[in-house]
A and B are shown apart, each in its own frame.
Chain A
Amino acid sequence: MLLKTNSMRWAGLFAAMLLLLVLMSFSIVYGYTDTTWKMAIDAFTQFDGSNEHIIIQSVRLPRALIAAAVGASLAIAGVLLQTLTKNPLAAPEIFGINAGAGFAVVITVTLFSISNLQVFTWVSFLGAAVSFIFVYIIGSIGREGLTPMKLTLAGAAMSAMFASMTQGFLVINETALEQVLFWLAGSVSGRKLETLTAVLPYLLAGWILSLILAGKLNVLSMGEDVAKGLGLKTGLLKLGAGIVIVLLSGGAVAVAGPIGFLGIVIPHLTRAVVGIDHRWVIPYAGLLGGMLLLIADIASRYIIMPQEVPVGVMTAVIGTPFFVYIARRGFNQ
């Protein structure tokens, strides 16, 4: 653990907030269209309708805000899922959330021939929520209620099912493939600010609720029996955590499509920085998640310029080596 005392953690929290703002401004200033810091400031203080100002206001700003919000939400959802399942590799994409959202989008395109990004937002939110609720219910069947193992197995099964059905639909309908492929790769670009504001209430609720549950999650992490013995209503807490996961990961996938690895990597990174107390892990994971997605998104503009790498690909490229490292460390213990 990097930050050992609470005063260091408070200082770190403010530093991380500051850094997040700095990265957001970088995201606004740097990209394919040449813009300067002065232009960025002018675009908000004395907008002149120039091409650069329009890009800054309607392309770069939404993109920076979306990257920060989506990164934060995925990271916090990952923290909650890892605690709920006691599985260090848990993340939204492993619990059928992304697969469910993807399937819902593909259904919309193939069966209803709708390929509007705004419609995708709600459809994928719905798909993510329905999929996770299924996983949660299947994982809760049986005498002991929701157990980490059953939840993990249910998630894997639902993911596999939705992924195969998605592929099936896409193989049959090639036009649909072209229309949803860019969505399936995950991206924070080309979205209007309204896309974010539409789901922001859900994300905000998820962030606040996760902070409220943080202390109780600490108790739950000591094991179901110990937590019950201490007087924690574990069933209720798990339900609350499940709701937060749906709000955050459903909202994130609705705005940006399926972005992988953030939900796995950030919780581990966060615990290395602040330890395992959820009251610190959750706010830090949110900030670090936002920062990582901003960095990945800025980098994605420069790698094969003038083209852009989808940010979902960037997070996967950064995340995979880390994923392997975590898996190996887990096996060695």
Chain B
Amino acid sequence: MTAGQAIATKDLTLSYGDTIIINELDLEIPKGEITVFIGGNGCGKSTLLRSIARLLKPKSGAVLLEGEAIAKLSTKDVARKMAILPQSPSAPEGLTVLQLVKQGRYPYQTWLKQWSTEDELKVRNALKATGMEELKDRTVDSLSGGQRQRAWIAMTLAQDTDTILLDEPTTYLDMTHQIEILDLLFELNEKEKRTIVMVLHDLNLSCRYAHNIVAIKDQKVFAQGKPEHVINCGLVKNVFGMECEVTIDPLFGTPLCIPYGKGRCIIKGQGFQG
């Protein structure tokens, strides 16, 4: 890895009670790239992300953030280097977007230094980058799903970290807003070289946005690499247990997975005239 690694795991074993979820995993996540975890339901991809974010204690092994063991760092130090947006977060009723985004500055506040001009600037930039400036005085619960997710992303941006972790940031969003969120994250990576690590369910969008895909199966990494190198029929069959055809996305040239299955087949007749 020439660009260096943002995050690595060493012999990482995760479990819920006696059930092993991830077993002795060594994983490296490259700096400055978008990495997407994929895998079937319950394969442990969210668990892995949560453990990287120190929300879940490992059974054994370690998570390294920029080469340092995360368990040895103070939790505020970690929060200045890495932000996490959990799956479907919920804000207290009545919290405004501005109040939410300001909380992103918590890791920088101390007894002596409560609120600085730098805090103010970072909050303003975060609102601007996510297009939330006009909505900053609205309450979070009054926003639509897509806006709400942008508000939460703004909070993680205000945290001003090199690395951002997101657990299924597009879940419950319609297609337009899924693209909007992924475009936003893609731009953050392009312009500011932030390392983005996320769990996504949509394989085709993963292939489009990720520089690096990590496919998880049977408590370990089944394959890792550029989508165009790792995604093929065999992998999908193995990781998801699904028969499919992998073709080329006509717009982006990235892998496009088309599942087999039942449904109306009209290809032999008139066909569909798009």
Task: Give A143 to B54 CA distance when docked, in angstroms.
Answer: 15
Are A222 and B78 interface neighbours, CB within 8 A? Answer: no
Contact A225 B84 (CB under 8 A): yes
Q: B159 near A230 (CB under 8 angstroms)? A: yes
B89 to A143, Cβ gap below 8 A?
A: no
* Chain A, Cβ-Cβ closest to B82: A229
- Docked complex Cα distance between A221 and B140 (Å): 14
Convert B21-51 into 0s and 1s, putting 1 for each residue whose CB lies closer than 8 angstroms to a CB of A.
0000000000000000000000000000010
Which of B89, B104, B159 interacts with A223 by CB under 8 Å? B89
Instruction: List CB contacts (< 8 Å) of B37-93 with chain A.
Output: 50, 53-55, 74-80, 83-86, 89-93
Contacting residues, chain B, for A232 (C-beta < 8 A): 75, 106
User: Which of B94-102, B126-134, B179-187, B234-242 interfaces with chain A?
Assistant: B94-102
State the Cβ distance, B98 to closest chain A Cβ, in Å: 12
In the complex, the answer to whether B90 meets A223 with C-beta atoms within 8 Å is: yes
Interchain CB contact (< 8 A) of A276 among B74, B80, B95, B109: B95
The residue from B75, B91, B94 contacting A231, defined by CB atoms under 8 A apart: B75
Q: Is the CB of A221 within 8 A of B94?
A: no
Question: In this assembly, does B145 line the interface, its C-beta being within 8 Å of a C-beta of chain A?
Answer: no
User: Roughly how many angstroms separate A119 CA and B79 CA in the complex, as a whole number?
Assistant: 49
Which chain B residue shows the least CB distance to A1?
B94
Are the C-beta atoms of A277 and B86 separated by less than 8 Å? no
Q: Please tell me if the beta carbons of B92 and A222 are within 8 angstroms of each other in the complex.
A: yes
Residue of A nearest to B77 (CB): A231
Q: Within the assembled complex, what's the spacing in Å between the Cα atoms of A143 and B16?
A: 9
Name the prevailing secondary structure of the A interface residues. Answer: loop
Are B89 and A275 in contact, with the CB atoms below 8 A? no
Q: Is A226 interfacial (CB 8 A cutoff)?
A: yes
Q: What separation, in Å, do the CA atoms of A275 and B95 have in the docked complex? A: 8
B92 touches A229 (CB 8 A): no
* Residues A228 and B75 in contact in the complex (CB < 8 Å), given A219-B103, A222-B100, A223-B86: yes
Q: Is the CB–CB distance between B103 and A231 below 8 Å?
A: no
B36 nearest CB across to chain A (Å): 19
Instruction: Kindly state whether residue A271 has any CB partner on chain B within 8 Å.
Output: yes
> Given the complex of chains A and B, what is the CA–CA distance between A219 and B76 in angstroms?
13
- Is the CB of B17 closer than 8 A to any CB of chain A? yes
Whether A218 lies near B103 (C-beta < 8 A) is: yes
Task: Say whether, besides A222-B89, A223-B89, A230-B103, A275 and B94 are in contact (CB < 8 Å).
Answer: yes
> Could you tell me the distance between the alpha carbons of A267 and B205 in the complex, rounded to whole angstroms?
45
Question: Would you call A277 and B107 a contact (CB within 8 A)?
Answer: no
With most chain A CB atoms within 10 A of its CB, the pick from B75, B77, B78, B83 is B75
If A226-B86, A229-B84 touch, whether A276 touches B92 (CB-CB below 8 Å) is yes
B contact residues around A228 at 8 Å (CB): 53-55, 75
14 extra A-B contacts, CB within 8 A, seeds A1-B94, A223-B89: A222-B95, A223-B86, A225-B50, A225-B86, A225-B89, A228-B54, A228-B55, A229-B55, A229-B79, A229-B85, A230-B107, A230-B159, A231-B75, A277-B99
A→B interface (CB under 8 Å): 1, 143, 215, 218-219, 221-223, 225-226, 228-233, 271, 275-277
Give chain B's interface residues, CB within 8 Å of chain A.
16-17, 50, 53-55, 74-80, 83-86, 89-95, 99-100, 103-104, 106-107, 109, 159
Can you list 25 A-B contacts with CB-CB less than 8 angstroms, sorted by A residue number? A1-B94, A215-B109, A221-B92, A221-B95, A222-B91, A222-B95, A223-B86, A225-B84, A225-B86, A225-B89, A228-B55, A228-B75, A229-B53, A229-B55, A230-B104, A230-B106, A230-B159, A231-B78, A231-B79, A231-B80, A231-B107, A233-B75, A276-B92, A276-B95, A277-B99
